[in-house]
Structure 1
Amino acid sequence: MSYGVWAQVVGQPEAIEILTATAASAAAQVEGTADGAGMIHAWLFTGPPGSGRSVAARAFAAALQCVTGQGCGECPGCRTTMAGTHADVRLVVPEGLSISVAEMRALVQTSARRPTGGRWQVVIIEDADRLTEGAANALLKAIEEPPERTVFLLCAPSDHPDDVPVTIRSRCRPVALRTPAPAAIAEVLQVRDGLDEATATWAASVCGGHVGRARRLGTDPAARDRRDAVLRIPLHLRRLADVFECADDLVKTAEADASEVSGARDEVEKEALKTAMGYGGTGKGAATASRGSAGAIKELERRQKSRATRTQRDALDLALVDLAGFYRDVLVTTSRSPATLTHPDRAADIHQAAAAWPAESTLRRLEAVLACREAIELNVKPRIAVEAMLTTLYRG
């Protein structure tokens, strides 16, 4: 496995080689021993879900703050960056459906300051594909004329104009990540997370190359149960009534996931804001403070609602990805392709479906799942989109 902070970046040797060389060059520039050739002020990390875009960006940020310039993983710069507490590293993780222009303008203004530690001011934008048009324009201005010691690290699924505007992409150095091999994922699960070999190998084989998903499946029984429930759907749709039952289960499970993630956090955030605004106080001016806090609380609730919607969509999309993988595997089996199955542990069900369904019917089912994903992303009500999909899955 790789050394220091790079041990977190799974199955990306080419990217690590580029980033470590650049970090060393940047360290030489800071120390005045070289001109920092190769170090530029904007980077674009692209790759499929689970490839580790944000992990690679954070490891690179840690290496830039590292006293050795190597990303040793031991110095304060490395430790605080990886923990998300470094004063000169700002991580933008959109909790709602998009990144607003106001948020980006505030971030750009902050990033223009000199680094407190004397090395680099680093801004990591995890989901740059969620930038609104106004936010993208605000970021573009900062990238065009960056402060001397500021670095922008953008993460997106691809460099397609639908994900990242050409004007921004053309000013970034690309770092293309790939889907990690199952063997690399299994090794990390054993070494980092302490899983036994059998569990790690299984989780790596069914995660679709998504390191975070592999870890959840390997460590969380509830995650395994949710996956099993989803993969039972294709052979469970025997009656039209099953369509509505399965739709109800899928949507309610996604809502429960969102509630579990957001519920406790929402209440803590609201109480903290009320306390900061003097809500419920009895001293002089308490009534005025309480009235003034109403607007701030309303805005917080709006952001929390947006976050819950995003969480629900992400949970539902994960189920749809698993379903799409099942129908893909049926097509692979029908065509007798040597391609590796997405769900090798469901081989018996996949062979049963391949024997029962014509290839055209399987393809229609797969297209229905993909259409459902697109519909939900376009703000179609999840229940309507899921019921339409399951009706096609039932009819074939």
Structure 2
Amino acid sequence: MSVWDDLRGQSAVVDQLRQAAEGDGLTHAWLFTGPPGSGRSNAAKAFAAALNCDQEDVTKRGCGTCAACRTILGETHSDVTFVRTDKVTITIQESRELVAKAGNRPSSARWRVIVVEDADRMAERTTNVLLKAIEEPTPRTIWMLCAPSPADVLVTIRSRCRPVALRLPPAADVAALLVKRDGVEPALAERAARAAQSHVGIARRLARDPQARERRLETVRFPLGLRGITAAILMAEKLVKIATEEANSSNEERDAAEKAALLATLGAPETGTLPPAMRSQVKQLEDDQKRRAKRSITDSLDRTLTDLLSFYRDVLIIQMGNAVELVNVELRSELEEFAARSSAEATLTRMEAINKARNRITTTNAAPLLAVESMAASLI
């Protein structure tokens, strides 16, 4: 076992981080970049474990079995902090708390490590709070920032970080990971990895959740029935509904568990009205959950549109001569019929319309339904 086992298809990155953990090229700040599903946060976590591994021999660090490796991989080590947000942005107050924590020496490990998994979700003012801490680092503290691309982080930050660029692993590597780590049947693992377009987390969900597979297939098949403006409007409504149901299915159970845990911690009475002090804390939790729900729906809708995009991607592949493997192999005959009725230029225009809608939904305050309706009309 090794902390690097889950980084399938990232041999160059593993070699880079192994060398740094052994002391060759180690620096105080790192920027992990790569598309969603490439394993940015997993790479940072594995690196943090290798840096603090209990093995005396530097060439064996990252064993995955010692106490330090296990607690860091389990995110329970006192000297390694993981920062991720379910809200739209990381707040400036959270950033200040990180800087204060980074100023403390590690209590038991070699290094205090701060892993910011959503560095792209910090506003400029928030990022500037981190700048001095990264520019003039505290001894024995290492920062690890994760973002989709270097452009998502301020140039003043990324210029002070050593880059680690990840790529999406091949679908075969993702399938092998699902088989080995999650016990998924090989044929199902291969289908899930291909449908997820090598996004490890989504592949795992598709492999384990039959309803998720059904929702995805329904999304991908929508263009086959797109005949007029009425069908486009209905498709838009259904796409937003699918994304909302997908997000709510994971939010409801988590929200209820968080509220129950908070009430238990506060020692709230089982019946009757809560005292004012408790009500304010419950209200704060509910407000945070509402903000998280907004982001999760946006993320789910973006993923739904990515699934829709895979249909037109496959159509374009067929129109260009089947140079690479299709994502939706099970729909090949229908895809070929669709491709024969259109042109590559029209397919590219439709793909551009989908990406435009994704951009409007994730970067502006556009109403999701209106953005998707406009997109659907462009696909006719």
Shorter-chain-normalised TM-score: which range? Answer: over 0.9
CA–CA distance in structure 1, aligned partners of residues 257 and 322 of structure 2: 52
Q: Does the alignment pair 1:262 with 2:247?
A: no
CA drift at 1:314: 1.2
Write the mapping of 1:239-278 to structure 2, written as runs, cut at 5 A.
239-277=228-266
Map of 1:169 onto structure 2: 158
CA–CA distance in structure 2, aligned partners of residues 227 and 180 of structure 1: 21
- 8 Å CA contact 2:196–2:202 kept in 1: the answer is yes
- 8 Å CA contact 2:79–2:109 kept in 1: the answer is no
Q: 1:119 to 1:169 in 2, by over 3 A?
A: same
CA drift at 1:296: 2.8
2:63 counterpart SS class: coil
Map of 1:33 onto structure 2: none
- 8 Å CA contact 2:195–2:328 kept in 1: the answer is yes
CA drift at 1:337: 4.9
Map of 1:57 onto structure 2: 44
Structure 1 segments unaligned to the other structure (5+ residues):
26-36
2:4 counterpart SS class: helix
CA drift at 1:145: 1.5
CA–CA distance in structure 2, aligned partners of residues 194 and 276 of structure 1: 36
Map of 1:136 onto structure 2: 127
Map of 2:327 onto structure 1: 342
Map of 1:382 onto structure 2: 368
Map of 2:311 onto structure 1: 326
- After superposition, what is the alpha-carbon deviation per residue over 1:231-268, rounded to whole angstroms, capped at 9, x for unaligned? 11011112433223222222122222222222122233
Q: Does the alignment pair 1:391 with 2:377?
A: yes
CA drift at 1:275: 4.5
- After superposition, what is the alpha-carbon deviation per residue over 1:215-237, rounded to whole angstroms, capped at 9, x for unaligned? 22222211211110101101111
Map of 1:29 onto structure 2: none
Map of 1:28 onto structure 2: none
Q: 1:279 to 1:189 in 2, by over 3 A?
A: closer
Write the mapping of 1:1-396 to structure 2, written as runs, cut at 5 A.
3-25=1-23, 37-68=24-55, 69=58, 70-160=61-151, 163-277=152-266, 279-280=268-269, 290-377=275-362, 378-394=364-380
> TM-score, normalization: structure 2?
0.93
Range 42-51 or range 247-256, more displaced = 247-256
1:4 counterpart SS class: coil
- 8 Å CA contact 1:277–1:290 kept in 2: the answer is no
Structure 2 segments unaligned to the other structure (5+ residues):
none
CA drift at 1:269: 2.4
CA–CA distance in structure 1, aligned partners of residues 195 and 252 of structure 2: 30
- Detail structure 1 runs of 4+ shifted over 6 Å in the superposition: none
Give the count of matched residue pairs.
Answer: 375
- After superposition, what is the alpha-carbon deviation per residue over 1:168-211, rounded to whole angstroms, capped at 9, x for unaligned? 00000001111111221222122112222222222223321212
Range 12-21 or range 269-278, more displaced = 269-278
> TM-score, normalization: structure 1?
0.89
CA drift at 1:280: 4.7
CA–CA distance in structure 1, aligned partners of residues 234 and 270 of structure 2: 49
- 8 Å CA contact 1:98–1:132 kept in 2: the answer is yes
CA–CA distance in structure 2, aligned partners of residues 13 and 256 of structure 1: 37
- 8 Å CA contact 1:93–1:125 kept in 2: the answer is yes
CA–CA distance in structure 2, aligned partners of residues 272 and 347 of structure 1: 49
CA–CA distance in structure 2, aligned partners of residues 263 and 213 of structure 1: 19
- 8 Å CA contact 1:88–1:115 kept in 2: the answer is yes
RMSD in angstroms over aligned alpha carbons?
2.0
CA drift at 1:281: 9.1
